[in-house]
Amino acid sequence: MTISAVILAAGKGTRMKSTRAKVLHKLAGKPLLQHVVDTAEMLAPRNITVIYGHDGEAVQSGIEGDTLCWIEQKDQKGTGHAVAQALPNIKADEKVLILYGDVPLISKASLDELIALCPEQGVSLLTIKLPNPSGYGRIIRNQENQVIGIVEQKDANAEQLLIDEINTGIFCVTGSLLQRWLPSLENNNAQGEYYLTDIIALAAKEDVPVFACHPESAEEVEGINNRRQLAHLERAYQLNVANELMDAGVTLSDPTRLDVRGNVSIASDVEIDINVIFEGTVEVATGVVIGPNCVLKNCSLGEGVVIKANTVIEDAVIEKDCVIGPFARIRPKTVLAEGVKIGNFVETKKSNIGKGSKVSHLSYIGDAEIGENANIGAGTITCNYDGVNKFKTEIGDGAFIGSNTCLIAPVKVGVNATTGAGSAINKDVADNQLSIARGKQRNIESWKRPQKIKQD
Ligand code: UD1
Ligand code: CA
């Protein structure tokens, strides 16, 4: 049987106190709804229908997916009414998975189990026992322990309120059953809504099988209604990632001070100090040491690389045994070959720096091609921009660039060439040459310092 997914995301999210739609708020750097879409896509569904209500344009442009269909629910008349909007996208002979856009951490494993549990003609639902079930729909079971209904908090009697097994809201239902049941739902309940949960009583009445299973952790089914819950779930997610990394052989100075906003692949025997943020896709090879307060985005770090405190790296390739920082900024399209050393207050951008070369202090290297074993002195600046266009600087193997050299691009400094400190180099320097381009020093004898003028 094919699967199609329906994600409910029409709720307003008033308690977020935000002008942005709730499902666009981010967890681990990714919109809540995107988490649900990505997990649903792992199940290879025929399609995914998102039921949206507010901010349709912003929500649609903020979410990516190959099989997404968007349907607006103009008035939020309840979860049953919401799923009914998706009926045109649902086939009779498939399993329909119902998810919430504000329950971001539902796992593929739980959904696989839920789908497998759903009979060809029937219903499966995800339930969980909570120490404090207040606010949730309660699961009603008969003497044979079969699920026969769900009662919402507001409709429950005193006895039902004591039930601690709750409805997570996540269901799998045969399409034909939804086609038959949804149009017949009524809204004669405490909230005047069309409850999706009422389909359980309909199933019980018709002897349609209903099976329940449970997620591995409560966080998987936690919904987000306010920013406290968002922060709580963020920390839960991050701790989970930290635990997985530690289990895979990564040393974390403090697992509560690591943030992964994307996908990391970190080899064993990597050491990560506090307050490190990973974004996008980051690959870290074995033996890497990352100091405190570093931000690493879309980059790869080769074996044995050392990143010292307060370094920011984005869209870069760092080959093995490089040493970077503290306080370095490695910007997009930087490629550092094996054993390069980048020191404090050095910025690089769109540059290749060859094996063993050093840029140790206070430099800007942009649009540059630097050979192997070159030494770039403190304060060297590649003047790559004339205010309109960008130009390239080329520096040969073994070159020695004196401190405070301005390299006015386009310009080439040859193999083993040297520039004198303080030079402004705007003409090419051939291999092995020394180039000095600075005012000549004059020493003036018997010069008198100015005297303080007397005021009356
Ligand atoms: C719902 C369930 C309850 C369950 C709880 C789990 C019903 C009647 N109740 O209650 O049993 O314990 O979720 O969190 O189903 N939505 C729409 N359109 C609507 C109404 C809701 O898209 O017209 C979406 C919301 O954006 C949200 C989800 O459906 O993502 C759940 O809605 P919510 O109002 O939070 O349901 P609850 O009353 O909490
Ligand atoms: Ca809710």
- Residue closest via CA to ligand 1's atom 1 equals 169
Q: Strand 258-266 and strand 276-284: pairing?
A: parallel
Asked if 376 and 393 touch (Cβ cutoff 8 Å), the reply is no
pLDDT of residue 317: 99
Average pLDDT over residues 344-354: 98
At position 296, the amino acid (one-letter code) is L
DSSP state of 230: H
What percent of the chain lies above the pLDDT cut of 90?
A: 98
Distance 223 CA to ligand 2 centre (A): 6
Q: Is the pLDDT of residue 436 over 90?
A: yes
User: Residue 113: how many CA atoms within 13 Å on its side-chain side?
Assistant: 14
Could you name the CATH architecture of 2-221? Alpha-Beta Complex (3.90)
Look up the pTM and report it. 0.94
For 20-44, the pLDDT digits (tens) are: 999 999 999 999 999 999 999 999 9
Mean pLDDT of the residues in the chain: 97
Distance 200 CA to ligand 2 centre (A): 19
Q: Is 120 exposed, middle or buried (0-12, 13-18, 19+ CB in 10 A)?
A: exposed
Ligand 1 pocket, 196 CB below 6 A?
yes
For 352-379, the pLDDT digits (tens) are: 999 999 999 999 999 999 999 999 999 9
Alpha-carbon gap, residue 143 to 455, rounded angstroms:
105
Residue 19 pLDDT level (bands cut at 50, 70, 90): very high
Average pLDDT over residues 293-297: 99
**Which string of b and e fits 283-302 if b means at least 16 CB within 10 Å?**
ebbebbbbbbbbbbbbbbbb
Asked if 63 and 34 touch (Cβ cutoff 8 Å), the reply is yes
For 138-161, the pLDDT digits (tens) are: 999 999 999 999 999 999 999 999
Average pLDDT over residues 330-347: 98
pLDDT of residue 456: 83
- Residue closest via CA to ligand 1's atom 35 equals 11
Closest ligand (CA of 100): 1
CB atoms within 10 A of CB 225: 16
Angle at 360 between CA 355 and CA 361, to 5 degrees: 150
Q: Strand 358-361 and strand 94-100: pairing?
A: unpaired
From the list 397, 202, 262, the residue with the least C-alpha distance to 413 is: 397
Q: Is the pLDDT of residue 434 over 90?
A: yes
For 231-435, CATH number? 2.160.10.10
User: In ligand 1, which atom is closest to the CA atom of 82?
Assistant: 18
- Residue closest via CA to ligand 1's atom 21 equals 79
Q: Is the pLDDT of residue 410 over 90?
A: yes
- Residue closest via CA to ligand 1's atom 13 equals 169
User: In ligand 1, which atom is closest to the CA atom of 103?
Assistant: 30
Q: Which of 16, 71, 79 to mutate to test the pocket of ligand 1 (most atoms within 8 A of CB)?
A: 79
Average pLDDT over residues 323-345: 98
Ligand 1 pocket, 8 CB below 6 A?
yes
User: In ligand 1, which atom is closest to the CA atom of 136?
Assistant: 12
From the list 199, 229, 225, the residue with the least C-alpha distance to 17 is: 225
Torsion sign over Cα 36, 37, 40, 41: negative
Reading the block at residue 304, the tokens are 């044995």
CB atoms within 10 A of CB 184: 10
Q: Is the pLDDT of residue 199 over 90?
A: yes
Distance 104 CA to ligand 1 centre (A): 14
For the chain, which residues make up each domain, given as ranges? 2-221, 231-435
pLDDT of residue 288: 99
For the chain, helix, strand, coil in percent to 5 are 20, 35, 45
Tell me the backbone φ, ψ of residue 332, rounded to 5 degrees.
-50, 145
Residue 54 pLDDT level (bands cut at 50, 70, 90): confident
SS3 256: helix
Asked if 52 and 9 touch (Cβ cutoff 8 Å), the reply is yes
Active site residues: 361
Average pLDDT over residues 112-124: 98
pLDDT of residue 12: 85
